[in-house]
C-alpha cells in the first residue's frame, strides 16, 4: 500500500509542472499588455511602464516564470493589483464559504444518490426504478441556476422557510451557517446526485449479476448484507470516480451558484477579479483550483486502493 501511495504521489510531479506552465501562460497568451489592460484606456504609457516594473513584467518571460514558481514554493502567489493584499490571503478568505458549500452539496448528493441508486438497481425495471431514473434524467437536464431561482422563489419567498440569499460564517453558529447553505447546496448538488445515482445503479446492477453474489446468497446472508457489504463495495470504484469528478466540478461550478446566492466564495472572487482585470488573482485562483482537482484525484486514487485489494496488490 505504501509503495502504491508513493508511486501515485511521484506521478504528480510532471502534472504539476504542466499546470504551472499552463497557468502562467494564461496571462501571457492574452493579447496586449496585461498592465495596460488593467489600467484601462486612460492610462499613460508612463503609468503602464511603472506597473510593468513593479510587477516584473519587463523581465524576460522565462525569468518571470522561474520567479513565480519560486514564489509558489514559499507559498507566495504574488500580490493582488486591486485588493492590495497577497493573492494567497484573498484565496484563503474566500475558500471557507466555497468549501462549506461544496461539502453541503456533496453530502446532499451522496445521501440521496447512493441509497436510491442501490434501490433502483435492486428493483430494476420496476415502477420505482423507472421513477428514479426519470428523476435522475430531470436532475441532469435542469441547469443549476434555474433550480436555484425556483428554490429561491418557492422556499425562500413564498414559504419563507429558508433565507433567499446571503451567507453566515460558521462563527455565527452551526444552524445559522447551514441555513444559508441548504438552497445553494441543493441547487449545486442535484446534478451531482443525478450523476452519482445513475452510476451507482448501473455499477451495482452489474455486480449483482456476478457469480460471487450467488455464493454469498448461498451462505444464507440477508439481502441488506448482500447489497451493502458485497455488491456496493465491489461496485464502488466507478462510483468513487464519479464522486471525485463531481466534487471537482462542485468547486468550480460554484461560481454561478455563489453569484446567485451572494456567497462570498472563490466564485465571487473570480468573477470580481475578472471584472477588475486583477490577473494575479485570476492566475492564483486558476492554479489553486487546478491543484484542488489534482489533490481530489489523488485521494480518489488512494481510495481505489483501499476499496479494492487488486488495485493495491497487483500493480508492481
Partner 1 sequence: MSQTPLLDVRNLRTHFYTERGRVTAVDGVSFSMEPGEIVGIVGESGCGKSVMSQSIIRLLDYADDVSYEGEVRLGGENLLQLSNSRMRKIRGNLVSMVFQDPLTSLDPVYTVGDQIAESLRQHRRLSRREAREKALELLRMTGIPSPEQRLDEYPHQLSGGMQQRVMIAIALACEPQLLIADEPTTALDVTIQAQILELIVELNRKLGMGVLFITHDLGVVSEICTSVKVMYLGQIVEEMTTAQLFANPLHPYTQGLIRSIPRMDGDRRQKLHIIAGTVPSLNDKPQGCRFATRCPYADDKCRNEEPPIATAEEGHRLKCWYYEEISNGLREAVGHGD
User: Cell triple for residue 176?
Assistant: 445559522
Residue 206 sits in the site that holds partner 1 (CB under 8 A) = no
Q: In Å, how far are 113, 195, 247 from 138, measured between CA atoms?
A: 14, 11, 20
User: Cell triple for residue 83?
Assistant: 485588493
Residue found under cell 510531479:
13
Residue 310 sits in the site that holds partner 1 (CB under 8 A) = yes
Q: Which stretch binds partner 1 (CB under 8 A): 15-23, 104-112, 189-197, 226-234?
A: 226-234
Residue 74 sits in the site that holds partner 1 (CB under 8 A) = no
Residue 211 sits in the site that holds partner 1 (CB under 8 A) = yes
Give min distance, CB of 312 to partner 1, in A. 10
Within 139-198, which residues bind partner 1 (CB under 8 A)?
Answer: none
Q: Which stretch binds partner 1 (CB under 8 A): 31-39, 56-64, 228-236, 295-303?
A: 228-236
Residue 123 sits in the site that holds partner 1 (CB under 8 A) = no
Residue 40 sits in the site that holds partner 1 (CB under 8 A) = no
Cβ neighbours of residue 48 closer than 8 Å, sequence gap 6 or more? 33, 35, 36, 39
Residue 76 sits in the site that holds partner 1 (CB under 8 A) = no
Residue 61 sits in the site that holds partner 1 (CB under 8 A) = no
Residue found under cell 460558521:
170
Residue 215 sits in the site that holds partner 1 (CB under 8 A) = yes
Residue 313 sits in the site that holds partner 1 (CB under 8 A) = yes
140: closest CA among 184, 177, 181, 109? 109
Site map 231..270 versus partner 1, x via CB under 8 A = --xx------------------------------------
117 burial level (CB within 10 Å; 0-12, 13-18, 19+): buried
Residue found under cell 425562500:
156
290: closest CA among 266, 262, 264? 266
The binder of partner 1 chosen from 145, 150, 154, 212 (CB under 8 A):
212
The binder of partner 1 chosen from 84, 158, 219, 316 (CB under 8 A):
219
Q: How many CB atoms lie within 10 A of CB 314?
A: 9
The binder of partner 1 chosen from 214, 228, 262, 315 (CB under 8 A):
214
Residue 69, φ and ψ in degrees, nearest 5: -65, -40
Give min distance, CB of 231 to partner 1, in A. 10
Determine contact, residues 35/48, Cβ cutoff 8 Å: yes
Ramachandran bin of 195, using left for φ above 0, alpha for ψ from -120 to 50, beta for the remaining angles: alpha
Residue 220 sits in the site that holds partner 1 (CB under 8 A) = yes
Binding site for partner 1 (CB under 8 A): 210-212, 214-223, 230, 233-234, 307-310, 313-314
Amino acid at each position: 500500500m505504501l509503495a502504491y501511495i508513493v508511486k501515485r504521489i511521484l506521478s504528480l510531479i510532471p502534472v504539476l509542472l504542466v499546470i504551472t506552465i499552463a497557468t502562467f501562460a494564461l496571462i501571457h497568451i492574452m493579447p496586449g499588455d496585461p498592465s495596460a489592460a488593467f489600467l484601462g484606456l486612460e492610462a499613460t504609457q508612463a503609468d503602464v511602464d511603472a506597473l510593468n516594473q513593479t510587477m516584473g513584467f519587463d523581465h524576460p518571460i522565462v525569468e518571470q516564470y522561474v520567479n513565480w514558481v519560486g514564489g509558489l514554493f514559499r507559498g507566495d502567489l504574488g500580490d493582488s493589483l486591486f485588493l492590495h493584499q497577497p493573492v494567497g490571503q484573498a484565496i484563503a478568505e474566500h475558500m471557507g464559504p466555497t468549501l462549506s458549500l461544496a461539502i453541503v452539496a456533496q453530502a446532499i448528493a451522496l445521501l440521496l444518490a447512493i441509497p436510491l441508486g442501490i434501490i433502483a438497481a435492486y428493483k430494476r425495471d420496476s415502477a420505482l426504478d423507472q421513477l428514479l431514473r426519470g428523476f435522475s434524467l430531470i436532475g441532469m437536464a435542469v441547469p443549476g441556476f434555474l433550480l436555484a431561482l425556483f428554490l429561491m422563489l418557492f422556499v425562500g419567498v413564498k414559504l419563507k422557510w429558508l433565507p433567499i440569499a446571503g451567507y453566515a460564517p460558521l462563527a455565527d453558529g452551526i444552524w445559522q451557517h447551514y441555513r444559508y447553505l441548504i438552497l445553494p447546496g441543493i441547487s449545486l448538488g442535484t446534478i451531482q446526485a443525478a450523476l452519482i445515482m445513475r452510476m451507482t445503479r448501473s455499477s451495482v446492477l452489474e455486480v449483482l449479476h456476478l457469480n460471487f453474489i450467488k455464493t454469498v446468497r448461498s451462505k444464507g446472508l440477508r439481502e441488506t448484507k448482500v447489497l451493502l457489504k458485497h455488491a456496493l463495495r465491489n461496485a464502488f470504484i466507478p462510483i468513487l470516480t464519479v464522486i471525485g469528478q463531481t466534487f471537482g466540478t462542485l468547486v468550480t461550478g460554484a461560481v454561478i451558484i455563489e453569484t446567485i446566492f451572494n456567497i462570498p466564495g472563490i466564485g465571487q472572487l473570480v468573477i470580481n477579479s475578472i471584472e477588475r482585470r486583477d490577473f494575479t488573482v485570476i492566475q492564483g485562483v486558476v492554479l489553486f483550483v487546478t491543484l484542488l482537482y489534482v489533490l481530489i484525484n489523488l485521494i480518489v486514487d488512494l481510495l481505489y486502493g483501499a476499496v479494492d485489494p487488486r488495485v493495491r496488490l497487483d500493480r508492481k
